[in-house]
A and B are shown apart, each in its own frame.
Chain A
Amino acid sequence: MLIGLMVLGAGLATAFALKSFNENLMYFFSTTDVVEGKAPKDTLFRLGGMVIKGSVERPNDGMTVRFKLTDFSKDVTVEYTGILPDLFREGQGIVAHGKLNEQGVFIAEEVLAKHDENYMPPEVKDSLKKQPASVEGSKSSVTIGE
């Protein structure tokens, strides 16, 4: 009886803690959040999304990279100076840490690559590419268990 109450109490406490920490536990904001103004101004936050194919450019031929991030509905331009992780490439999901400037460009201080949960040999990937609407579309349907 006492133990049951203790477990119940701990469960409730955890539920409240999770509810109040929900925003901190949200590791990143989506690009739609930023476009709709839900992301914080003047403070550092994390922005997650997919690098749009063909959007990566290096304006000064130096270490600075500009690219567009999308969540398949709204886009945000990101600027970053530094070394990118190995998995950074066009069409890849990434998480950038930084803040917005006045022009609405996200100035990143850190770029992390987010890899997906699919593992397969390169040959399988190639053969999947030949059949349209298979793995390429799976990035947007990562929600599991419907």
Chain B
Amino acid sequence: MFLIPDPVVRFFHRMASPPHFYALTERLMPWLVVIFLLLTAAGLYGGLYLAPSDYQQGDSYRIIYIHVPSAWMSLFIYVVMAVAGAIGLVWRIKLAEIVAISSAPVGASFTFIALVTGSLWGKPMWGTWWVWDARLTSELILLFLYLGVIGLYGAIDDKRTASRAVAILALVGVVNIPIIHYSVEWWNTLHQGPTVTKMDKPSIHVSMLIPLLLMALSFKFYYLIALLQRARTELLLRERNAQWVKNMISEAK
């Protein structure tokens, strides 16, 4: 509290207030959508048209522009979900609980996309749709963790209790995140080692790297849009008896 400047503290306090969050995200949404569309257009044009084909895999490698950003997002969203869950658990902030549970379906979708595109890529390159190596198996476990979070939340009627249970499950599952990332270094896997996220300089040509990073950024914005939309719906559902929701409805009439 002593190190954080006052306006920042005030910003977070206001963001934690449901009516303020609802109004702000409504004004923010068109901008986010525009940025997302521009980034996706630039990333896809760069990746599918401008980037050269690979010396070994030809044009097949271009699935990297979906596969790798999805896989990154599957890990990133899980960490966001666990951190938001922990904040909700400790400080009982309603919005943190909502961010945690709203992240789960988005993260599960990205995990699913990463698994499916990886499978489609594996068949022509490796010669198989699926192998039980450490990278593929740990990513599949991540999908089950996401589904577990969604299922557990749906199984408990009291949503505040459900959020606490989900936060604990998400926190326990965090052990899987470093396992996924380092699986290709700790064990002999069919999946190759990291290309971009390593200490060395990336072993991908810069003309192929730029569209990849654009796609990664565009996926981040997609997550933000999907997360905010889900959070707004969840918020309305939970606060349906609150005065600010009633005011908003009567104003709309």
Q: Which residues of A contact B (CB under 8 A)?
A: 3, 6-7, 10-11, 14, 18, 22, 25-28, 30, 48, 84-88, 95, 110-125, 138, 142-145
Known A28-B188, A112-B190, A117-B195; judge A124-B205 contact (CB<8 A). Answer: yes
Which of B134, B176, B199, B203 contacts A117, CB < 8 Å? B203
Within 8 A of A (CB), among B77-132: 89, 124-128, 131
Mind listing 22 A-B residue pairs with CB under 8 Å? A3-B171, A25-B133, A27-B133, A27-B134, A27-B187, A27-B189, A85-B124, A86-B127, A110-B128, A113-B125, A113-B126, A117-B192, A118-B203, A119-B54, A119-B61, A119-B203, A121-B55, A123-B52, A124-B55, A143-B185, A144-B199, A145-B200
Once the chains bind, are A118 and B204 in contact (CB under 8 Å)?
yes
Once the chains bind, are B125 and A117 in contact (CB under 8 Å)?
no
Does B53 reach chain A (CB closer than 8 Å)? yes
Once the chains bind, are A119 and B208 in contact (CB under 8 Å)?
yes
Once the chains bind, are A3 and B126 in contact (CB under 8 Å)?
no
Q: Which residues of B contact A (CB under 8 A)?
A: 52-57, 61, 64, 89, 124-128, 131, 133-134, 137, 168, 171-172, 174-176, 179, 185, 187-190, 192-195, 198-200, 203-205, 207-208
Which of B126, B168, B176, B193 contacts A6, CB < 8 Å? B168
Chain B contacts for A120, CB-based, 8 A: 54-55, 204-205, 208
Smallest beta-carbon distance B93→chain A, Å? 16
Bound CA–CA A35/B151 (angstroms): 49
Smallest beta-carbon distance A11→chain B, Å? 5
Once the chains bind, are B55 and A117 in contact (CB under 8 Å)?
no
The SS class assigned to the B binding surface is loop
Chain B contacts for A111, CB-based, 8 A: 127
Chain B contacts for A118, CB-based, 8 A: 195, 203-204
Once the chains bind, are A114 and B190 in contact (CB under 8 Å)?
yes
Bound CA–CA A11/B137 (angstroms): 18
Bound CA–CA A112/B220 (angstroms): 34
Smallest beta-carbon distance A37→chain B, Å? 18
The SS class assigned to the A binding surface is mixed
Smallest beta-carbon distance B135→chain A, Å? 9
Chain A contacts for B128, CB-based, 8 A: 110, 112
Complex: chain A residue closest to B136, CB-CB: A27
Smallest beta-carbon distance A89→chain B, Å? 9
Chain B contacts for A7, CB-based, 8 A: 171-172, 174-175
Once the chains bind, are B198 and A85 in contact (CB under 8 Å)?
no
Once the chains bind, are B127 and A112 in contact (CB under 8 Å)?
yes
Once the chains bind, are A48 and B188 in contact (CB under 8 Å)?
yes
Q: For the A-B complex with A113-B127, A144-B198 known, give 11 more contacts whose Cβ atoms are closer than 8 Å.
A: A6-B168, A11-B175, A22-B187, A27-B134, A30-B188, A85-B124, A112-B126, A112-B127, A114-B192, A119-B57, A120-B55
